[in-house]
């Protein structure tokens, strides 16, 4: 019953979105760009008593990032923003303080002060309770001595999913976030041990040099019992003080209470007990935790693995563009890891000051470890579409991507398979997600089309849990929907790779996207297959080269 309700809700939302949207900039991003461009006009808040002076600037920036993230991603607030931009709502509703709303009003927006105030108070209460919960978890960790001890210089992979952490049953050819980091040429040379930070992890790990750290933070255990008791007292005081400050109108303490709790612990970590490197990823793309400033001051490298190229705005007859309003202008990550030179330039353009960006297209997040040795893919063209929830997520943010959707996906698969089979080639298809695990697929025609592949002798269907890298390194060529990372990986691996725009909206003036060619329509795809793929058949039996060490 609940599954049907969810599907019905998103079908209604997507139908409403289609009525509102035409090709052009995303409406919610246009409105949020007002806040991103005018941060200098917003009143600054000071943090005393709870935050040391060295962290006050970071605390104020962290508060702004949290406020912006909530307004950018909360379903209800984004819906208000999208409807206001489309002219359905007469007044804009944002869960923001009065100093932020004043900037919107000065830029011509009609603000609903009462409704905005209601949602802001509700958000404050939520953030305070979240901070209280973090304080309780911190006390339990301190008193139970559950945190890991520092034995060697270590690096931390932050906020990993349970399927990305190593387990006893893992095979030697498994590709995941950890194996990527183990072979990453740009990793900190001081790191001798890897800590995998995961909120929840079940099972055991037997991989040497890897420690799984559970909980909200990846901190090491404090050495003395007296120090742990001191931190426990400070955590309790911070929680009580923030609650009193919120009641007295100093709401900004409640916004970052969770970060303050973690920073209180971080202030008592010896400098040589911090990790040498902390790598975050796009689960929270522009909110940098307060404790990371302490780690950076102790000599750690803080990096954001930024792979969200599909969140950029897509226009007809233009390349995808990073636009102001996505939040990157507020971020404070000191270093990025990106997938392409185009993506690198886009990130540097959005930031207000120059930042280092490391380009690496071969990041693998998770892999089932299923063997591919029984399948000879040397004469196969790999076909990659997008996740079924992608259109809904982008619709929720007000982002218009004409290349993504049920109809576009079906057309992409049908035309690509026909063109490939007509040339005597075979197709290997790896879905982004399993159909039965994804509640957001809206098109029965798409589901039936994908399921029909298993009855076609010219199509090999692989599990979606296999990482795309292992498929790409064994295949002849790569055809991807715009703009997934698989085509970028294929190009970097030396395989003929292309973005196939089946609906014909982008390629006329965008010959390259992330360094990869874009072809539009069946005729352009067949021309690419004839001139870039078929000539390689005579060499397809050569030993396959691995693009990354397992």
Which pLDDT band, with edges at 50, 70 and 90, does 360 fall under? confident
Residue 453, class by beta-carbon neighbours within 10 Å (0-12 exposed, 13-18 middle, 19+ buried)? middle
Q: Give the whole-angstrom CA distance, residue 10 versus residue 438.
A: 13
Q: Which of 105-114, 161-170, 284-293, 444-453 has the lowest mean pLDDT?
A: 161-170
Task: Round the average pLDDT of the chain to a whole number and report it.
Answer: 80
Segments in 453-549 forming alpha helices (H)? 468-472, 485-492, 521-528
* Residues 221 and 148: beta-carbon distance below 8 Å: yes
Q: Give the whole-angstrom CA distance, residue 207 versus residue 43.
A: 50
pLDDT at 322: 62
pLDDT at 312: 56
Q: Give the whole-angstrom CA distance, residue 325 versus residue 61.
A: 16
* Residues 86 and 31: beta-carbon distance below 8 Å: no
Q: 133: which residues sit within 8 A by CB, 6+ positions away?
A: none
At 239, list the tokens.
């929680």
pLDDT at 453: 87
Q: Which of 16-25, 82-91, 438-447 has the lowest mean pLDDT?
A: 16-25
Number of residues written out for the chain: 550
45 or 550: which carries more pLDDT confidence? Answer: 45
CA proximity to 386, closest of 448, 430, 341: 430
Q: Is residue 504 over pLDDT 70?
A: yes
Q: Give the whole-angstrom CA distance, residue 237 versus residue 50.
A: 9
* Residues 99 and 122: beta-carbon distance below 8 Å: no
Which pLDDT band, with edges at 50, 70 and 90, does 439 fall under? very low
Which pLDDT band, with edges at 50, 70 and 90, does 505 fall under? low
Confidence (pTM): 0.84
pLDDT at 313: 54
Residue 526, class by beta-carbon neighbours within 10 Å (0-12 exposed, 13-18 middle, 19+ buried)? middle
- Using the 8-state DSSP alphabet, how is residue 513 labeled? E
Q: Give the whole-angstrom CA distance, residue 83 versus residue 103.
A: 20
Which pLDDT band, with edges at 50, 70 and 90, does 110 fall under? very high
pLDDT in tens, 286-298: 899 999 999 999 9
Residue 445, class by beta-carbon neighbours within 10 Å (0-12 exposed, 13-18 middle, 19+ buried)? exposed
What are the backbone dihedrals phi and psi of residue 381, each rounded to the nearest 5 degrees, phi first? -100, 125
Pairing mode of beta strands 477-480, 512-513: unpaired
Report the topology of domain 380-539. Rossmann fold (3.40.50)
What are the backbone dihedrals phi and psi of residue 398, each rounded to the nearest 5 degrees, phi first? 75, 20
Segments in 335-484 forming alpha helices (H)? 341-350, 390-396, 406-422, 444-452, 468-472
Residue 303: how many other CB atoms lie within 10 Å? 23
Domain ranges of the chain: 380-539
Kindly state the percentage of the chain with pLDDT values over 70. Answer: 77
What are the backbone dihedrals phi and psi of residue 219, each rounded to the nearest 5 degrees, phi first? -85, 150
* Residues 302 and 358: beta-carbon distance below 8 Å: no
């Amino acid at each position: 019953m609940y599954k049907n309700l969810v599907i019905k809700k998103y079908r209604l939302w997507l139908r409403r979105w289609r009525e509102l949207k035409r090709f052009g900039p995303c409406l919610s991003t246009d409105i949020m760009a007002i806040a991103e461009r005018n941060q200098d006009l917003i009143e600054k808040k000071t943090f005393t008593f709870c935050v040391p002076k060295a962290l006050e600037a970071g605390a104020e920036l962290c508060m702004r990032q949290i406020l912006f993230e909530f307004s950018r991603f909360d379903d209800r607030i984004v819906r208000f923003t999208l409807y206001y931009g489309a002219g359905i709502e007469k007044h804009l509703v944002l869960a923001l303080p009065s100093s932020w709303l004043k900037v919107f009003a000065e830029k011509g927006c009609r603000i609903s002060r009462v409704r905005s105030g209601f949602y802001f108070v509700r958000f404050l209460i939520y953030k305070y309770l979240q901070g209280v919960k973090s304080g309780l978890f911190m006390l339990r960790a301190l008193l139970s001595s559950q945190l890991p001890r520092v034995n060697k210089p270590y690096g931390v992979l932050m906020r990993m999913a349970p399927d990305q952490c190593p387990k006893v049953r893992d095979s030697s050819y498994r590709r995941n976030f950890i194996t990527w980091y183990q072979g990453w040429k740009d990793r900190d040379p001081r790191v001798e041990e890897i800590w995998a930070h995961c909120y929840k992890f079940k099972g055991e790990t037997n991989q040497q040099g890897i420690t799984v750290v559970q909980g909200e933070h990846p901190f090491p255990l404090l050495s003395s019992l007296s120090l742990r008791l001191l931190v426990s007292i400070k955590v309790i005081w911070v929680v009580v003080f923030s609650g009193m400050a919120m009641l007295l109108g100093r709401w900004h303490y409640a916004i970052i209470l969770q970060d303050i709790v973690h920073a209180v612990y971080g202030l008592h970590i010896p400098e040589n007990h911090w990790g040498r490197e902390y790598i975050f990823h796009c689960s929270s793309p522009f909110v940098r935790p307060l404790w990371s400033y302490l780690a950076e001051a102790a000599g750690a490298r803080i990096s954001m693995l930024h792979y969200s190229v599909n969140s950029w705005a897509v226009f007809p007859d233009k390349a995808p563009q990073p636009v102001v309003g996505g939040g990157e202008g507020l971020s404070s990550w000191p270093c990025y890891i990106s997938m392409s030179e185009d993506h690198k330039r886009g990130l540097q353009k959005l930031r207000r000051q120059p930042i280092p960006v490391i380009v690496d297209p071969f990041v693998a997040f998770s892999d089932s470890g299923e063997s591919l040795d029984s399948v000879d893919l040397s004469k196969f063209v790999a076909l990659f579409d997008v996740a079924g929830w992608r259109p809904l997520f982008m619709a929720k943010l007000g982002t218009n991507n004409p290349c993504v959707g049920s109809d576009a996906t079906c057309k992409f698969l049908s035309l690509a398979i026909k063109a490939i089979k007509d040339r005597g080639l075979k197709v290997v298809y790896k879905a982004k997600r399993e159909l039965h695990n994804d509640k957001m697929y809206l098109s029965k025609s798409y589901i039936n089309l994908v399921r029909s592949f298993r009855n076609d002798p010219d199509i090999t269907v692989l599990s979606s849990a296999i990482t795309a890298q292992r498929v790409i390194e064994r295949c002849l060529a790569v055809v991807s929907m715009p703009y997934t990372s698989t085509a970028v990986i294929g190009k970097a691996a030396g395989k003929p790779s292309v973005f196939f725009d089946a609906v014909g909206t982008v390629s006329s003036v965008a010959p390259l996207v992330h360094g990869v060619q874009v072809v539009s329509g069946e005729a352009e795809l067949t021309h690419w297959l004839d001139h870039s793929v078929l000539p390689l058949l005579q060499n397809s039996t050569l030993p396959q080269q691995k693009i990354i060490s397992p």
